[in-house]
Chains A and B, each alone.
Chain A
């Protein structure tokens, strides 16, 4: 057991029973997250990335449930815990940053009170010590005049400032892992850059691991160490960000990279992947990507490829199963 591995997700399956069929928004997903590293989980809408995050935090709404697989935090299973045990994990060991700061923060509570409440729930500090810690954490996330702003309500902050407060809240009890689900999507580009820089900086300094869920490849490129690409609830490629983005192997990853308008502004048509991500009710048999793939073979339509290692990554594609070279 590699002591450096903080979070291990093994063959996770999430199922939602509906009237017509059982849906699988997360289908046999496996990955690991090491201490202090930032893992990006990227996918388009419907890929199941948010559902993964929810599963790890035990926040899946019934009738959805974890159908099979394991989630291990520092070697201990957390996917089968009762709600009471989760209270000791959420906040203390896993912190959360969501997309919309307005729903993450209680609009009726002062920001300082929310921070102090979180701190005192998980750490044995007195009220005044907790308050001092709260002011410090606000300063750490870059809120000017933290000592006076600590008594403000969330609506008195701007969007970017609110998200900084949310980050402070997530880090308040010094968790080992932060799950950030689209933390900057609702923010302006300039603020987005600042928030990502803040997140990177704080997490590197405290050796907090981050699972960054996003649809934005640019954010992945700038902020993550490793990246997992999701499609229709399955992992298609995992590897070091630099490798995957510079030399994408899976046809979907390649299509995704080519579809993104280039930074160097080259003219000519944008590459496009025909079709769209399948609906959960109608996922193709075999490889979920096969109807849209430009390198499809007969095997792809019948058998689902497993995640196998290739060079230093893991890849789920039949084109890479036999040899090292791309055919």
Chain B
């Protein structure tokens, strides 16, 4: 099948800086320079309809920042995002903006803060429906019941308050809310990190089923490689705000080419590896304000060379175009 269309979600050279300078007066009085934090820079990737793209990274990787930019909660300081060809940050009239908003949703990490504790569950799920005018009167209630059942809860749960549910159930409610606007693209920011393993599997299965049923595209943000392996079609590995490796799932796990990816995979605790000690993990993530020169990973890299300290690496294609790696030392 020939793919003429551009990808559904296209992220181009996305970047975001935060200004952390002290207020003007303090700066003048103390003679302190401006400080800025680069949370993300030069991030580019694409997601097709019905596909799951995972962003993997540890703290300071910028994955949450990127997630927020992809739903329009945060404006980039460089680069852009297009959804189905439409520029997310372009000037749009109110109607077009709402129409675009409807198609993108987000599921948050914290099941205890993502639902308003003073609202009933039914009202929480109904809010997007009424905001986008997707149903009226009794139709809203019917749709809410339908959504609750779709995520494995009971229609009667609509009358209850969030605190009456467990963490896993709250995430289901959050998923129902995300589905209420009939979106085509959902950003999932560590949706199961706060849940127990046995509940996590329920939620992940649900998310996969829904994806197949509704043709949803996911951006799945996580630090947990084993979950990512289960959910993702393509994976992007982030370090200090930059994509160091992008590859489809099987290629990434079969032959990770960036030293950081190799370290991450090695360090992830495995339930079938008894008494094993991870070999490659060294050092810690540096302060993002004080970035290392050249390649940001060089202070921790086991195969570092002089060029790594001086020049930032460019992205190169490997494995017949299935992997994109930014490393001077990467080999085929």
Contact B264 A260 (CB under 8 A): no
CA distance A235 to B62 in the complex (A): 41
Contact partner of A263 (CB less than 8 A), chosen from B271, B274, B277, B278, is B271
Count B interface residues, CB 8 Å. Answer: 44
User: Which of A190, A264, A277 is in CB contact (< 8 Å) with B267?
Assistant: A190
A-B contact count (CB 8 A): 137
Instruction: Kindly state the separation between the CA atoms of A272 and B275 in the bound complex, as whole angstroms.
Output: 27
* Contact (Cβ within 8 A) A197 B284: no
Considering the chains assembled together, what is the distance between the CA atoms of A264 and B253 in angstroms?
9
* Separation of A65 and B254 alpha carbons in the complex (Å): 52
Contact of B197 among A161, A200, A259 (CB under 8 A): A259
Mark A residues whose CB is within 8 Å of B: 44-45, 158-161, 188-194, 196-197, 200, 215-222, 241-242, 245-246, 255-257, 259-265, 269-274, 276-277
Is B315 interfacial (CB 8 A cutoff)? no
Closest B-chain residue to A277, C-beta based?
B196
Closest 6 pairs between A and B when the two form their complex, measured CB to CB: A218-B269, A193-B278, A44-B196, A193-B267, A188-B58, A259-B201
Check B21 for interface membership: any CB of A closer than 8 A. no
Q: Are B271 and A257 in contact (CB under 8 A)?
A: yes
12 extra A-B contacts, CB within 8 A, seeds A189-B58, A197-B277, A263-B270: A189-B264, A196-B277, A215-B197, A218-B269, A219-B269, A220-B271, A256-B198, A261-B204, A269-B205, A270-B204, A273-B201, A277-B198
Q: What sequence of 0s and 1s flags, for each residue 108-140 of chain B, a beta carbon within 8 Å of any chain A beta carbon?
A: 000000000000000000000000000000000
Smallest beta-carbon distance B231→chain A, Å: 9
Looking at chain A's contact residues, is the secondary structure mostly helix, strand, loop, or mixed? helix
Which of A158, A161, A222, A255 touches B275 (beta carbons < 8 Å)?
A222
With a cutoff of 8 Å between Cβ atoms, the chain A residues found around residue B225 in the complex are 189
CA distance A260 to B196 in the complex (A): 10
List residues of chain A with CB within 8 A of the CB of B268.
189, 218
| Alpha-carbon separation in the docked complex, A270 to B229 (Å) | 12
Can you list 22 A-B pairs with a CB-CB distance of less than 8 A?
A45-B167, A45-B196, A188-B223, A189-B267, A193-B266, A194-B281, A196-B277, A215-B197, A221-B271, A222-B276, A259-B201, A260-B197, A260-B201, A261-B227, A261-B230, A265-B229, A269-B208, A270-B230, A272-B201, A274-B202, A276-B169, A276-B198
